[in-house]
Amino acid sequence: MKKDILICGVGGQGTVLASKIIAASAMDEGSAVHSAETIGMAQRGGSVTSHVRIGEAYAPLIPQGAADMILAFEPAEAVRNLGYLKKDGIVIVNRVPVKPVTESLQDTGYDGTEMIAYLQKKCSCIVIDAEKICAPFGSSRYFNIAILGVAVGSGRLGISKETVLAELEKRVPSKYVETNKAAFYAGVEVGSGKTL
Amino acid sequence: MQEYVMGNGAIALGALAAGVNLVSGYPGTPSSEIVETISKYPHDGVHLEWSVNEKAAMEVAASAAYGGARTMVTMKQVGLNVAADPLMSLAYVGVKGGMVVVSADDPGPISSQTEQDTRRFADFARIPVFDPSSPEEAYEMIQDAFAYSEKYKTPVLFRPTTRVCHAYASIENPANNGPKAYDGFVKDSKKWVIFPRLSYMNHAMIEQRNVEIGKDFSTYKWNRVEGGNSRKAVITSGISYAYAKEYLKDHTDIKLIKLATAYPLPEDFLLQALEGVEELLCVEELSPYIEEQILKLAGKHALSIKVSGKLDGKVPASGENSSNLVADILSEFLGTEKLVRGYDGSDAPSLPMRPPVLCAGCPHRASFYAVKQAMKGKKAYFCGDIGCYTLGNAMPLDMVDTCLCMGAGITMAQGFHWIDGEGTCFGFVGDSTFFASGMTGVVNAVYNNADMILCVLDNSTTAMTGHQPHPGIGRNMMGQFVDKVDIAKVLEGIGVHKIITVNPLDLAASVAAVQECDKLPGVKTIIFKSPCIAISKPDGKCRISEQCINCKKCIREIGCPALITVDGNVTIDENLCTGCGLCSQICPVHAIGDDTQKGGAIS
């Protein structure tokens, strides 16, 4: 399998765990994997990306125009990274914005809707709502697992549900496993419900 | 068995495979995970430490290597400046056991003050440098680095860059045979005590030896030529090799020269590689190091070759390379097709900027705000330092007037005092930075009778680099519980007479502390003590009541990421709020309460 998956969001949203689970799952299914993370200052509320390259690759970062899938935890971050998407690639994007402090100060009214409209016009995308999808679990912190579910459910990730669940169980503290699994299944349902 | 690890992890595993006996370092992005990885893998018999700074780390490793032990020192590129004093001398003295100094460069720069190039440092110190292009290569190359170090009895530099350090890859069956046996230190003052005579003799020896190492490197397996025998060729190193390869995989007729050891230059290898080459493009990051070496080589051997790269503007002078950038540069140089692009985003709506900010609930925000309030309307200088608290520069806090290097906040506050006796001079320093290079600055202030207020922002960790322990924590990397070095007692010992310890989340007490210090002459210290939110449990959540008049003072004053507006109304993002209660102490109508027992609840 050869797939490039870009995960983007804002520092603190849990993109790293999502990328680690995808990488580990792809390896469990026999693929060579390379990945790269944003570490350091940008983790403090800045734009962060994780690049997961499944199959043969030289550079750890995905070239522009090569990503099969973008998992965007935030609408503006999806637009910021759209250049990485292949022409026939897909974006799975959370419609709930993270407002930077600078926006709150100036009150420019950024709420993500303009970004979502742009994405829908521009490329193939699945728009999801972190707050809705995570409502039964009491915290949007489970969104990183839910969006993985959407990716798997969409059938475009190329990794089986079972493999991802097994990695999830290995990587999440035991007391949170059940909630995370429920979040994952909620995502799978959303992902498979959309036909593209 | 395969291990999926970060490049830094691969370096750690390689060191364990090489039988390393001692690993020391100081945290710094992008190098910090090397020491941390060692601690997570079996390492019985290996001494592992976060040293107090890079200079200490280098010296601890140096004497161990005098005794024949294999040692590794880790740091970021600016850390090498701190360790430069021992390194420059150590280069003359040499070692017995293999000693590898890992100095991680940060093109971009992404998390650093400078775009300095460790390869130049290697040249400056006259010691070899290894330049891995991937985690897999780093795992093997660091083992070679130990072997070369021992063979030539010299410390060697190993310089990965951010994209190698933070890339993940699989390492197949990493070996971990336990630490290597060593025979111990043999006293010989003619060898181990640096004196002018020894330096003179060794200088001559080193220059001769480096010619030998250059020859040896000419057959080193990671220096290699790929592709065809084209008239136009590309030379590259490190991560830029990976970027070049992404493009050249579809142009296998082009000669690609990969240089893994930029110093000492493997001349024989290069002369052979450059045979038949008329035009050479040098693709590298940071400085045009290879390019300059090739130009020298061409002059020395009267090669007729046109050399391009950073010096003639074909490769950008600053910033990091990328697959796309390198593809563009190569396609222009070779006259080949451009890379196919994806979506053109030129019609995208304008994107919100996301400069990094202090986390919601970060105690540093409260400390800065207290000082700002106390100094309102007064002339003051705010000298910042390196750490999360550099982010105190962001609006609306705007509380960092200067930031230069580790420990400089304390001493620079003194310089401002000597040119302007009217202003109040503040030096801000974090707890880890205080130990790393802050203490001498305080001694300087006391000795020279400066007027300043030192603000120690003590969050009980080294936060920015990933929460490493430090001397004030009471725990070290050998898993031992040790006596905490008490910052207040250190300051007392130095002779600071006014030391106030305050919880920054208590705004009134913090402002009062600053005002009290401002009235006194000499060196005064406020220790703002409250743990980093990433290592402590949240206190609860703040809540906004119906009393809120939507004046947005809370947002305007402190810029907490948890304070947002939704449909024009001030709202608290409960996913981010830690219940620190700072906003509740600012609200003019007491509309923000917290469900904790701390100050600021609705009265």
* Residue where a domain terminates, one of B319, B334, B349: B334
Report the range of poorest mean pLDDT among A14-18, B209-213, B268-272, B492-496: A14-18
* A44 — pLDDT class (breaks 50, 70, 90): confident
The reply to whether B504 falls in a domain is: yes
Non-local (6+) Cβ contacts of B415 within 8 A are none
Q: What is the pLDDT of residues B353-374, one digit of tens each?
A: 888 889 999 999 999 999 999 9
- pLDDT above 90 covers what percent of chain B? 91
- What average pLDDT does the structure give for chain A? 91
- What average pLDDT does the structure give for chain B? 95
Is the pLDDT at B599 greater than 60, yes or no?
no
State whether B38 and B61 are in the same domain: yes
The reply to whether B572 falls in a domain is: yes
Query: Of A53-57, B278-282, B323-327, which one has max mean pLDDT?
Result: B278-282
Question: Judging by beta carbons within 10 Å of its beta carbon (0-12, 13-18, 19+), is residue B376 exposed, middle or buried?
Answer: exposed
Give the span between the Cα atoms of B31 and B199, in whole angstroms.
31
State whether B194 and B300 are in the same domain: no
Contact: A35, B168; criterion CB under 8 Å: yes
Select the residue of B4, B246, B324 nearest A27 (Cβ to Cβ). B4
Q: Token pair for residue B385?
A: 């330092």
Select the residue of B340, B355, B576 nearest A65 (Cβ to Cβ). B340
Give the span between the Cα atoms of B453 and B308, in whole angstroms.
52
State whether B314 and B373 are in the same domain: no
Report the range of poorest mean pLDDT among B3-17, B126-140, B330-344: B330-344
Domain count for chain A, please give it: 1
- CA-based end-to-end distance of chain A: 22
What's the confidence (pLDDT) of residue A105? 78
pTM to 2 decimal places: 0.94
* B48 — pLDDT class (breaks 50, 70, 90): very high
Rounded to an integer, the average pLDDT of B339-351 is 86
Q: What is the pLDDT of residues B64-109, one digit of tens each?
A: 999 999 999 999 999 999 999 999 999 999 999 999 999 999 999 9
Q: Token pair for residue A79?
A: 């637009």
Is the pLDDT at B294 greater than 80, yes or no?
yes
Q: What is the pLDDT of residues B520-556, one digit of tens each?
A: 999 999 999 999 999 998 878 999 999 999 999 999 9
* Residue where a domain terminates, one of B497, B529, B561: B529
Q: How far is CA B502 from CA B367, B385, B417, B553, in A?
A: 10, 20, 25, 25
Question: Is A170 near chain B, with CB under 8 Å?
Answer: no
Q: What is the pLDDT of residues A168-189, one digit of tens each?
A: 999 999 999 999 999 999 999 9
Q: What is this model's ipTM?
A: 0.91
State whether B326 and B392 are in the same domain: no
The CATH number of the domain holding residue B572 is: 3.30.70.20
Select the residue of B166, B357, B395 nearest A44 (Cβ to Cβ). B357
Q: Kindly report the CA angle at B440 between B434 and B446, in degrees rounded to 5? A: 110
Contact: A37, B242; criterion CB under 8 Å: no
What's the confidence (pLDDT) of residue A194? 52
Reduce the DSSP state of residue B537 to 3 states and report it.
Answer: coil
State whether B179 and B43 are in the same domain: yes
State whether B310 and B376 are in the same domain: no
Domain assignment of residue B487, given as a range: 363-529
Neighbours of B598 (CB within 10 A): 16
Residues in B touching A41 (Cβ below 8 Å): 29, 110-111, 356, 391, 464
* A196 — pLDDT class (breaks 50, 70, 90): very low
What's the confidence (pLDDT) of residue B600? 40
Residues in A touching B563 (Cβ below 8 Å): 104
Q: Token pair for residue B210?
A: 């480096």
Domain count for chain B, please give it: 4
What's the confidence (pLDDT) of residue B595? 62
Non-local (6+) Cβ contacts of B263 within 8 A are B119, B122, B123, B127, B128, B129
- Of all residues in chain B, what percent are helix, strand and coil, respectively (each to 5)? 35, 20, 45
State whether B254 and B299 are in the same domain: yes
Domain assignment of residue A137, given as a range: 3-193
State whether B305 and B417 are in the same domain: no
State whether B503 and B547 are in the same domain: no
Question: Is A118 near chain B, with CB under 8 Å?
Answer: yes
